[in-house]
Amino acid sequence: MQAEQPRTLQVSRDRQLLVRRLQSSHLTDKITAHQGHLIMVKPATTKLSSRGQVVIPEEIRTRLGLEPGAQFVVVGEGDVVVLKALKPPKMADFKALLDKVRESAEAAGITEEDVERAIREVRTTK
């Protein structure tokens, strides 16, 4: 006799199956799963300008929180172009990284004076 799956796993599997079925149907809207919710996303079209610029439709910019000056990584393969928005790290993430660096430096016996001396040496050799 097979053990019963926890309810949350079953709901998750059912939702994944539903998403796959709906995505493979011939709907004009796309259906995606985002943070546990089903979202209907209407496809949008845009065109490339003579200067190589592409306008991201307002609805998409709003939904993704994109503002003027946003930076992207762009990947192209075949007839597919993917834009991935670059987001700066949160201060809390940066602070956690800085704390780890400080711990490592302390464990290695590196002092602030050592760092300042190394910086001076690099600056004077240029």
pTM: 0.45
| 18 found inside a domain | yes
Q: Residue 67 — very low, low, confident or very high, per pLDDT cuts 50/70/90?
A: very high
First-residue to last-residue Cα distance in the chain: 74
What's the domain range around 117? Answer: 91-124
Residues 77 and 110 in one domain: no
Residues 119/111, Cβ–Cβ less than 8 Å: no
The answer, yes or no, to whether residue 104 has pLDDT greater than 80, is yes
Same domain, 76 and 95: no
Distance CA 121, CA 126 (A): 9
* Sign of the alpha-carbon torsion through 72, 75, 80, 82: negative
Phi, psi of 73 (to 5 degrees): -95, 135
Extract the tokens encoding 43. 């496809």
What mean pLDDT, rounded, does the chain reach? 79
